[in-house]
């Protein structure tokens, strides 16, 4: 099978698996929204901010670096080198994941008080510890698998993870019930951990024995390469966490009670966003396959082919995102009523529809920039966007309500997209030489 056919096959596999995972997840979130209160759903979503913060150390930069290093070595037919890249990544991942999990265990109540704004929610933090430990390390082999053309392993593990999570949570609700808002949110959080454990087991068994050896010098290089991406995602997670804290507070400043503010936040993040982000199943699949492909093409220094691939990816994702936004706009209000029996969910979906287009293009352009070796540029752009979003969320949410936050999201994504496109153009013209040298790993 030639490279083009392999790329199409891997993309198709990931799109299909992402659609299955998102549909299962959507059905689960509809069930969850009907099984726990909006306030409990809001606590769960705030708990997910904790998870995203601590899993970042292993699951953000390392998978991308492993993917890029492995792809470059597979392009040179260096099988042992590709295996060593994954072994090095796993060793680094275990170290940072164990540290993150230990900190969560020692400071659960403090974390709950600072982030969830409720010290009684420490049980939610504790329930997420296995997810941080196994989910973080389990994400690292995906980069290697995509680089070597075995995307089906990653796809299968994600489907099994989702099914196991849903089955676990439903079983726990039937056995223990949700006596209060904390119990319901903690059971939902424990489902993330259960899914992460089973996914880790599946993906490691199917990855099999790896060639090559760990190497301290290579590990040091990988840490340096992963640092900008990890810092990018870490600061992004911190900014998202601050945003999640600010939104209920600013909604309350606009006249809502604390319970009402938490409920509105729960409707947005637990009901409206899962529908609006459904099109990202395709974007995400294209991104994980595109990154090693861009890295391979860059390693050959074939600029015309590279430019052609970038244009095709941008136009394809733009068209899909635009079509999705139109469909969401047409079906938003009926979906809110039918799925959630919550008119506000439909109104929020309608307001979020334009974000589908801008976010899809931002996601794919960031991946292209990473594939070109400009992780540092991606980091700076992401941080700029995050700061803009945080400031606008604080300014706009009190007078405009939750729609102020949606407007802040739109502006942030548009700024990041514009900066990504400028950097890609400069890179193809050879004006970002430092990043380009690092791309030839």
Q: What is the pLDDT of residues 240-267, one digit of tens each?
A: 778 878 888 888 888 888 778 878 888 8
What percent of the chain is modeled with pLDDT above 70? 95
Residue pair 377/438 in contact (Cβ under 8 Å)? The answer is: no
CB-count burial class (<10 Å; 0-12, 13-18, 19+) for 431: exposed
Higher-pLDDT residue of 371 and 363 is 363
Whether the pLDDT of residue 439 is over 70: the answer is: no
404 burial type by CB count under 10 A (0-12 exposed, 13-18 middle, 19+ buried): buried
Output the pLDDT for position 252: 86
pLDDT at 190 > cutoff 70: yes
Residue 313 pLDDT: 84
Q: Give the tens place of pLDDT for each residue, 163-182.
A: 999 999 999 998 887 777 88
CA 198, 202, 203, 204 torsion-angle sign: positive
402-428 and 343-371 helices, crossing angle to 10°: 20
Domain of residue 249 covers 3-439
Q: State the pLDDT confidence band at 201, using cuts at 50, 70 and 90.
A: very high
Does residue 434 surpass a pLDDT of 60? no
Total tally of structural domains belonging to the chain:
1
Query: Tens digits of per-residue pLDDT, 390-428?
Result: 999 999 999 999 999 999 999 999 999 999 999 988 888
Q: Helix H segments across 76-150?
A: 79-106, 108-111, 122-127, 129-130, 136-138, 140-147
- CA dihedral angle for residue 120, residue 123, residue 124, residue 128, rounded to 10 degrees: 150
Alpha carbons within 13 angstroms on the beta-carbon side of residue 349 total: 29
* DSSP 8-state assignment for residue 387: H
Long-range contacts (CB closer than 8 Å, 24 or more residues apart) made by 316-320 = 316/286, 317/282, 317/283, 317/286, 317/360, 317/361, 317/363, 317/364, 318/357, 318/360, 318/361, 320/279, 320/282, 320/283, 320/360
436 pLDDT higher than 70: no
Q: Is 17 helix (H, G, I), strand (E, B) or coil?
A: helix
More confident residue, 147 or 255: 255
Mean pLDDT confidence for 282-304: 75
User: Average pLDDT in the 228-247 region?
Assistant: 79
Q: What is the pLDDT of residue 100?
A: 92
pLDDT, one tens digit per residue, over 60-88 is: 788 888 887 887 787 778 888 888 888 88
Let me know the angle formed at the C-alpha of 77 by 73 and 78, rounded to the nearest 5 degrees: 55
Determine how many CB atoms are found less than 10 A away from the CB of residue 81. Answer: 19
Torsion angles phi and psi, residue 148, rounded to 5: -95, 10
Q: What is the pTM of this model?
A: 0.69
CA atoms of 224 and 331, how far apart (whole Å): 46
pLDDT in tens, 318-368: 898 899 999 999 999 898 888 888 888 899 999 999 999 999 999 889 888
Cα 262 to Cα 314: distance, rounded to the nearest angstrom = 37
pLDDT one-digit tens code per residue, 37-67 = 877 888 888 888 889 889 988 887 888 888 8
């Amino acid at each position: 099978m030639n490279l083009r056919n392999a790329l199409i096959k891997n993309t198709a596999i990931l799109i299909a698996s992402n659609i299955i995972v998102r549909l299962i997840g959507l059905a689960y979130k509809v069930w969850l929204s009907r099984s726990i209160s909006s306030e409990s759903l809001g606590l769960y979503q705030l708990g997910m901010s904790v998870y995203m913060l601590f899993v970042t150390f292993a699951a953000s930069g390392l998978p991308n670096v492993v993917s890029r290093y492995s792809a470059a070595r597979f392009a040179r037919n260096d099988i042992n080198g590709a295996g060593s890249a994954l072994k090095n990544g796993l060793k680094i991942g275990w170290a940072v994941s164990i540290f993150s999990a230990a900190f969560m265990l020692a400071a659960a109540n403090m974390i709950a008080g600072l982030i969830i704004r409720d010290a009684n929610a420490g049980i939610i933090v504790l329930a997420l510890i296995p997810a941080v430990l196994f989910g973080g390390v389990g994400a690292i082999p995906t980069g290697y698998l995509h680089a070597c053309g075995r995307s089906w392993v990653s796809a299968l593990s994600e489907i099994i993870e989702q099914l196991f999570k849903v089955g676990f949570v439903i079983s726990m609700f039937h056995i223990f019930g949700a006596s209060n808002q904390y119990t319901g949110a903690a059971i939902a959080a424990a489902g993330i951990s259960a899914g992460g454990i089973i996914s880790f087991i599946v993906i490691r068994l199917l990855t099999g024995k790896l060639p090559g050896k760990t190497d301290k010098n290579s590990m040091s290089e990988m840490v340096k390469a992963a640092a900008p991406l990890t810092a990018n995602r870490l600061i992004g997670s911190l900014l998202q966490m601050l945003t999640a804290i600010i939104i209920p507070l600013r909604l309350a400043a606009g006249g809502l009670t604390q319970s009402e503010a938490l409920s509105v936040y729960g409707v947005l993040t637990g009901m409206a966003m899962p529908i609006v982000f459904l099109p990202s199943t395709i974007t995400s699949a294209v991104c994980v396959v595109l990154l090693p492909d861009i890295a391979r093409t860059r390693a050959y220094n074939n600029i015309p082919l590279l430019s052609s691939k970038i244009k095709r990816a941008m136009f394809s994702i733009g068209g899909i995102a635009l079509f999705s936004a139109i469909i969401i706009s047409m079906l938003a209000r009926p979906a809110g009523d039918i799925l959630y029996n919550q008119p506000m969910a439909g109104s929020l979906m309608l307001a979020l529809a334009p974000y589908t287009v801008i976010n899809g293009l931002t996601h794919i352009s960031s991946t292209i920039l990473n594939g070109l070796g400009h992780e540092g540029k991606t980091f700076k752009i992401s941080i700029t966007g995050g700061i803009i979003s945080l400031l606008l969320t604080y300014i706009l949410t009190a007078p405009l309500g939750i729609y102020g936050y949606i407007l802040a999201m739109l502006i942030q994504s548009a700024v990041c997209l514009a900066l990504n496109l400028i950097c890609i153009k400069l890179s193809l013209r050879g004006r970002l030489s430092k990043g380009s040298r690092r791309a030839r790993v």
